[in-house]
Amino acid sequence: MAEHERAPVAGMLGDLNQDVADDPRDRAGESVDDLNQLASRGVQQTRESRFVSQCLDRELLPFVHRGDYHCRDGRHPLVRTTCVKRVCLVLVAAALLAPASQARVAGGTPVALVTAETMNELLAVSLLSGRILKRLPMPSDPQNVATTVRTAVVVSTRGAAVTLVDIRRLQVVKVLRGFGSPHIPLISADGRFAYVTDDARGQLVVIDLVRRRVTRRVYVGLGAHHMAGDGPGNQLWIALGERARSIAVVDVSNAGHPHVIDHVDPRGRAHDLAFSTNDARVWVTYDDRPEVGVFAASTGRLLRLLHAGSPPQHIAFGPAGGGGHAYLTSGDDGTLRIFSSRTGRLLRIIRTSYGSFNLATYGSFVATSSLYRGTLMEFDEAGHRRLTRRVAPAARDLVVATLP
């Protein structure tokens, strides 16, 4: 973490022994849809409602039985359905018309796994209700987390350890030790391996998630810290430091045997980085200026600079908006900028909790965690806030998993 990221923490946390996560004063429910959001859904909802009506008229829904019952005056027929089958129809209509925050329940329960750094815990927080489902004790100073469908990888920097968590059972299954100063985890494209940067030793450490053991350590350069991988699993870009003057390009086409193939000059002090949705470009944020650099992934050439919030910034991409959105946080500003990943055009700036550096995307949603205020926030792709919840004195990093 950059010096100015860490410095204000102690003064803002107050009594670290207080159980703030269960204090009713710290709870905030999901915000209701605003008028603009409702208006934007109006046309789609009308079409869906019309479809349901047409299905009824044409008897396209096999579980709906229509019966004509006459009123006492014998003149006006009354159309009814049986009670049980009417309930089925209501459920179908509700599913078609439900807002996204409710519709996503069908695929499971979205849960944010949040590192509560000062409490030495990993928190499992429901993104539907904001309720803390479970607290898992971690080795000292858990900072960053990544996940596969089954396993979460939690890196504890001061504890020099990496913890493997079974997501479905929300249970620790293995603690790996013997690191120098581990920092950032990343999952290989095939999901078999986890990569962890060890900046004190300048290593990229390979963990086999099936065998649950370290299988390889590759020297990539002192200060190895933030990193990003392309979708196909061909290469990683690793920033050599939190204020990196060089980025190592690592071939991971053989996922278990990575090796350095090149270096890129970031044209400044690079902090965080991420591959764009189509993997053709790498966006690089800085620790020394309010800009983000867009580089060609194939050549490492700087293509353009985009204005951003105050440094350091963090970045993630989501599949929304046709060509994809780029989400860029500036924790010191308390802002989240939404860009078009295809054109680089700034689409919207929204307010976040002060100290919200790290973020995670899933589906068409984005979530942030505040290092300074311990706040978890969730937004839809247009930037409408869905959830605000204070979960800890300091919420460092997060990923989103889906529980069955």
What is the C-alpha to C-alpha distance for residues 271 and 288, in angstroms, rounded to an integer? 9
User: Domain check: are 199 and 213 in the same one?
Assistant: yes
**Which residue, 80, 98, 116, sits at the end of a domain?**
98
Nearest Cα to Cα of residue 327 among 42, 388, 141, 336: 336
Residue 39 lies in a domain: no
Nearest Cα to Cα of residue 237 among 223, 254, 219, 225: 225
Residues in the chain where the model's pLDDT stays below 50: 2-4, 6-106
pLDDT of residue 107: 62
pLDDT of residue 192: 97
Give residues with Cβ within 8 angstroms of 309, minimum separation 6.
290, 328, 329, 330, 332, 333, 335, 337
> How far is the CA of 375 from the CAs of 28, 45, 259, in angstroms?
10, 33, 38
Residue 274 lies in a domain: yes
pLDDT of residue 77: 42
Residue 281 lies in a domain: yes
Question: In terms of residue numbers, what domain contains 74?
Answer: 44-98
Q: Which tokens belong to 214?
A: 């370290």
**Cis peptide preceding 232, ω within 30 of 0:** no
Residue 176 lies in a domain: yes
DSSP letter, residue 57:
H
User: Domain check: are 25 and 58 in the same one?
Assistant: no
DSSP letter, residue 353:
-
User: Domain check: are 17 and 88 in the same one?
Assistant: no
Residue 58 lies in a domain: yes
User: Domain check: are 208 and 73 in the same one?
Assistant: no
Average pLDDT, the chain: 80
User: Domain check: are 160 and 266 in the same one?
Assistant: yes
**Which residue, 98, 115, 137, sits at the end of a domain?**
98
59-91 confidence digits (pLDDT tens): 333 333 333 333 334 444 433 333 333 333 333
**Which residue, 82, 98, 114, sits at the end of a domain?**
98
User: Domain check: are 178 and 84 in the same one?
Assistant: no
pLDDT of residue 321: 52
Residue 38 lies in a domain: no
Q: Which tokens belong to 394?
A: 């300091």
137-187 confidence digits (pLDDT tens): 999 999 999 999 999 999 999 999 999 999 999 999 999 999 999 999 999
Q: How many CA atoms lie within 13 A of 74 on its CB side?
A: 0
Please report how the helices 35-57 and 83-97 are oriented relative to each other, as an axis angle in degrees rounded to 10.
140
> How far is the CA of 191 from the CAs of 73, 184, 209, 361, 404, in angstroms?
69, 16, 8, 18, 19
Residue 397 lies in a domain: yes
User: Domain check: are 63 and 24 in the same one?
Assistant: no
Rounded to the nearest 10 degrees, how much is the dihedral formed by the CA atoms of 394, 395, 396, 400?
A: 170
pLDDT of residue 346: 96
User: Domain check: are 198 and 287 in the same one?
Assistant: yes
User: Domain check: are 338 and 232 in the same one?
Assistant: yes
User: Domain check: are 168 and 82 in the same one?
Assistant: no
**pTM, whole model, 2 decimals?**
0.75
CATH number of the domain within which 158 lies: 2.130.10.10
Cross-strand partners of 116: 121, 395
Residue 283 lies in a domain: yes
pLDDT of residue 322: 55
Which one-letter amino acid corresponds to residue 125? Answer: V
User: Domain check: are 322 and 356 in the same one?
Assistant: yes
User: Domain check: are 385 and 352 in the same one?
Assistant: yes
E strand intervals along 119-176: 121-126, 132-137, 142-147, 151-156, 161-166, 171-176
Inter-residue contact 391 to 123 (CB < 8 Å)? yes
127-138 confidence digits (pLDDT tens): 999 999 999 999
Give me the number of domains the chain comprises. Answer: 2
